[in-house]
């Protein structure tokens, strides 16, 4: 697939800006804080209905304005499509897919497929389980809209169960346990399926990233085994739950870990191993999406020259010929040293919220 045009209105530091993209490699360069990442954020927002930098949509509206608009024109399955999002400080955001109003975020997901490589990616591996669950949730929900739906349902049921627990009046708790287990089972099945897909691709990719020295394995960590065992677990943990005031076990606590040659990356991995692992994970994400949608997703590479050495960057570009890529960097000259990059590159200079 490919993006043809991005139009921004009062988005971040852009007033009105149209950007026509090339089919291959689009490089946005310029000094810091000029608006390079903002362009990637706008696209990501159209793909997922949320930013990768903030939970507060209103932050993306240009200072001193009330509304903002992003429109992306793209081609998928040889069909011209568009996504338009209007942000309003006082109202809910409005999403249009091919000019038609979309009411649920889960209906937006999966239309514009993109994979973001960002300097913050290592956070996924180093920080809390929540960031790893988010990685999984975003991957699965763009390919299986039903996943996002069931996950939303699970969270509602969990909220209800938690308020019952807080009230300490647990006569009705079994009703919630039953429903929670039902939703949990579906989510568990999706996660098992996608962790094993990730494993398949990580296995293929990691030897080429490490000169075959390292063997990388992804492992799903969950307390869920089956619906029955989970309802039993909820019963067993009820006293603890009441003491703590929330539901302590379930797929909302799921996690995954990466093992390098059998050892936990998180505990024993070097910085270089972390970088390789995150690249392997991202490439696996890319391959899964490509396999399922039968097209190349769009790649967004934010500031990769700041995080990765030239060798790793070259490895990236060897693997992604044929993709439409948007790159941001401060110094476009670095990219000139990469052999496989000499073909069609379009350069855009970004200067205080304007594309020159």
Contacting residues toward ligand ADP, per CB under 6 A? 12-13, 30, 32-38, 59-63, 328, 350
**Least distance CB 33 / ligand ADP (angstroms):** 4
Among 10, 26, 37, 324, binds Mg ion (CB under 5 A): 37
DSSP state of 347: E
Residue whose tokens read 């997901």: 109
What span, in angstroms and rounded, lies between the C-alpha atoms of 330 and 165?
A: 52
Q: Residue 208 or residue 333: which is nearer to ligand ADP going by CB?
A: 333
Q: Residue 176 or residue 348: which is nearer to Mg ion going by CB?
A: 348
Q: Scanning residues 262 to 291, which ones bind Mg ion (CB under 5 A)?
A: none
C-alpha distances (whole Å) from 51 to each of 12, 41, 95, 139 are 12, 6, 14, 15
**Cα atoms in the 13 Å half-sphere on the side-chain side of 302:** 21
**Least distance CB 88 / ligand ADP (angstroms):** 14
Residue with smallest beta-carbon separation from Mg ion = 37
**Least distance CB 348 / ligand ADP (angstroms):** 12
Q: Residue 104 CB: number of other CB atoms within 10 A?
A: 13
> Where does this chain touch Mg ion (CB under 5 A) — which range of 32-40, 239-247, 273-281, 332-340?
32-40
| DSSP string for residues in 137-192 | HHHHHHH-HHHHHHHHHHHHHHHHHHHHHHHT--TTHHHHHHHHHHHHHHHHHHHH
List the structure tokens of 79: 């069909």
What span, in angstroms and rounded, lies between the C-alpha atoms of 297 and 282?
A: 12
The binder of 63, among Mg ion, ligand ADP, none, by C-beta within 5 to 8 A per type, is ligand ADP
Should residue 305 be labelled a site residue for Mg ion when binding is judged by CB under 5 A? Answer: no
**Least distance CB 330 / Mg ion (angstroms):** 9
Taking the CA atoms of the chain, what radius of gyration do you get in angstroms?
22
Should residue 17 be labelled a site residue for Mg ion when binding is judged by CB under 5 A? Answer: no
Q: Residue 35 or residue 250: which is nearer to Mg ion going by CB?
A: 35
The binder of 13, among Mg ion, ligand ADP, none, by C-beta within 5 to 8 A per type, is ligand ADP
> What are the residues binding Mg ion (CB under 5 A)?
36-37
């Amino acid at each position: 697939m490919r993006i043809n045009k991005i139009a921004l209105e009062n988005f971040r530091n852009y007033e009105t800006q149209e950007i026509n993209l090339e089919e291959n490699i689009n490089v946005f360069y310029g000094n810091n804080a000029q608006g390079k990442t903002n362009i990637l954020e706008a696209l990501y927002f159209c793909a997922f209905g949320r930013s990768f930098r903030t939970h507060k949509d209103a932050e993306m509206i240009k200072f001193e304005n009330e509304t903002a608009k992003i429109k992306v024109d793209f081609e998928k399955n040889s069909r011209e499509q568009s996504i338009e999002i209007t942000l309003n400080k006082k109202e809910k955001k409005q999403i249009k897919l091919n000019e038609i109003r979309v009411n649920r975020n889960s209906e937006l997901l999966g239309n514009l497929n993109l994979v973001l490589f960002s300097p913050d990616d290592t956070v996924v591996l180093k920080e809390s389980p929540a960031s790893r669950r988010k990685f999984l949730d975003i991957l699965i929900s763009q390919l299986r809209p039903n996943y996002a739906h069931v996950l939303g349902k699970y969270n509602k049921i969990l909220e209800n169960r938690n308020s019952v627990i807080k009230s300490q009046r647990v006569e009705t708790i079994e009703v919630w346990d039953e429903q929670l287990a039902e939703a949990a089972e579906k989510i568990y099945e999706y996660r098992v399926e996608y962790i094993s897909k990730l494993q398949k691709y990580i296995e293929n990719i990691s030897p080429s990233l490490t000169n075959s020295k390292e063997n990388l394995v992804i492992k799903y960590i969950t307390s869920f085994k089956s619906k029955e065992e989970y309802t039993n677990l909820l019963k067993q943990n009820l006293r603890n739950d009441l003491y703590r005031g929330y539901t302590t076990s379930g797929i909302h606590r799921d996690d995954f870990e990466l093992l390098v040659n059998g050892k936990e990356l998180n505990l024993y991995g070097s910085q270089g191993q972390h970088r390789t692992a995150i690249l392997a994970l991202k490439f696996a994400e890319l391959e899964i999406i490509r396999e399922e949608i039968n097209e190349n997703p769009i790649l967004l590479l934010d500031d990769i020259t700041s995080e990765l050495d030239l060798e790793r960057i070259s490895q990236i570009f060897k693997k992604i010929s044929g993709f439409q890529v948007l790159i941001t960097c401060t110094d476009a000259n670095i990219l000139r040293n990469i052999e496989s990059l000499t073909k069609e590159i379009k350069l855009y200079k970004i200067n205080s919220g304007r594309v020159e």
